[in-house]
Amino acid sequence: IKSRKLPLTTGAESIKGSKGKVISWDKNKGVVAAAGSRWDAASNQEINLQKDDAVTIKDIDGLKLIIEPYNKK
């Protein structure tokens, strides 16, 4: 019964909040490696990312990841 309160751990939704790595990026869209796959990705703002930069996956829109730069806390 406790498992009902746990976050989803299967499917594409399970990678929200995890880290990814930039494969290619141009202004606010590109390709990111996450969870062992290549994903199209976008950002809500124009950001300067380089190949191999770490990103955080904030959301999923269909088959596109919504990302932001990874911030170590």
pLDDT by residue for the chain (73 residues), tens only, comes to 676 776 656 666 789 999 999 999 999 999 999 999 999 999 999 999 999 999 999 999 999 999 999 987 6
CA 52 to the chain's CA centroid: 13
Reported pTM? 0.81
**Cα-Cα end-to-end distance for the chain:** 33
Instruction: Report the 10 Å Cβ neighbour count for 55.
Output: 24
In the chain, count of helices (H) and strands (E)? 0, 5
Q: Are 29 and 41 in contact (CB under 8 A)?
A: yes
Q: Tell me the two tokens of residue 58.
A: 């904030």
